[in-house]
Amino acid sequence: MTTGSTESQTIILEHSGANDPTTEGFGSAGTGQAGGVINDLGYNAWVTPWAYRSSRGYGDSINNIADVDWILSVTVRIAATNTDPGIFSASVDTGASSSPFFGLHFGSDSSGNPIVATGGASGIQYNYTLTDAGSTYNNYQLVYDAGTETANLWVNGTEELSGIAGRFGSTSASFGWGGNSSYQTSGTSQANWSLVSLEITPEPSTGCLILFGGGVIIYVRRNYKRRCHQ
């Protein structure tokens, strides 16, 4: 579903459906055994399990995107309850010299309702829960404005949070998603990723937002060699 024209958008990297991300140009890291699932609540997805010290993440290095507008789009289902945001995430390190890092962190409450959290200057600061949604697929977009160096969070086509500042990362631009193996907690969980996409948007607006309804969070490896083409 598209809310407006996307002619000016350029996809940098994208995972879609039940495709193995390593066939889409992503590097892989971790010990968790991931795999595809077909027609999961009507979606095709790539499943990343998580357990303490065992996860699977995907990522790539990209060109510096600190001075351009971009959109990080994720369609995901957390197939567990009481999943801490931080275990699964999608992140962008823009390559800026200060406050370059932005991320979406996914979890669920005791009823299985999805939680999305996004970082501020001092870490994860902003949380949004989809009340009475249950364990369903939802689309999340982090829309970055290079002019203000902040991002807004859109959930299923509605703006929910604005003015989100980045935090310090590194000057090596990268894009990563999946499970975070170093997260300090216990238990097990699972994320089903229908889509993960990073695209630059020379003229961002509400009309440029895309809602992705098909198949894909944070594990960034800075030695991934694939570069975006702009």
**Distance from C-alpha of 130 to C-alpha of 116, rounded to nearest angstrom:** 8
Mean pLDDT by 10-residue block, N- to C-terminus, for the chain (230 residues)? 47 96 95 94 95 89 93 96 90 85 92 87 74 96 93 96 84 90 76 97 50 36 31
Spans of all domains in the chain: 10-208
Say what the pTM is: 0.82
Give the per-residue pLDDT at 123: 60
Query: DSSP labels for 115-169?
Result: EEEEEETTEEEEEEE-TT--S--EEEEEEEETTTTEEEEEETTEEEEEEEEPB--
pLDDT of residue 43: 98
The residue count of the chain comes to: 230
CATH (one of 3.30.750.24, 2.60.120.200, 3.50.50.60, 3.40.50.1110) for 10-208: 2.60.120.200
